[in-house]
Structure 1
Amino acid sequence: MSAEIKLQSRIICPECGHATLETMPEDACQYFYDCTKCGVVMKPLPGDCCVFCSYADVKCPPVQAESSCCR
């Protein structure tokens, strides 16, 4: 029995610390995210497939499902 995939994740800006609750795409990796407070454009850290894996409290759905991702 597999764990439920979470689609809501709180993404936290590394520049200003602003946190925003977002709904993640279920079948794609999001490479860029604009902070709604300071405007910085976030990009995945080396080794991560998307901004949610780098800057959010919940990893992206493909990683949660342990399926192939956009790496």
Structure 2
Amino acid sequence: MDITLQSTITCPECGFSREETMPTDACTWYWECPRCNALLRPKQGDCCVYCSYGNVPCPPVQESGKGGCCD
């Protein structure tokens, strides 16, 4: 199985998008939007900001096929 390490994260406050490289060994619980400075946190039930606001879920979720990689 190929794991995608790039995800485009989109700020729900201002719509700014940027491609980011996801870590393979940790969850990303916070992401600050470079445009509006909104501090994004995972939505309830998601393990990280990539699973909530990215177009590709984090690597552990990709590997398992399930949510909650860091629970």
| TM range, smaller chain | over 0.9
Q: From 49, 55, 58, give the equivalent of 2:56.
A: 58
Structure 2, gaps ≥5 residues long: none
Opposite residue 69 of structure 1, the aligned amino acid is C
TM-score (norm 2): 0.92
Tell me the matched-pair count.
Answer: 69
Residues in 2 aligned to 1:58 and 1:12: alpha-carbon distance in whole angstroms: 11
Q: From 13, 16, 19, give the equivalent of 2:17.
A: 19
TM-score (norm 1): 0.92
Structure 1, gaps ≥5 residues long: none
Which of structure 1's runs of 4+ aligned residues deviate more than 6 A?
A: none
Aligned sequence identity (%): 52
Residues in 1 aligned to 2:69 and 2:42: alpha-carbon distance in whole angstroms: 13
CA RMSD of aligned residues (A): 1.3
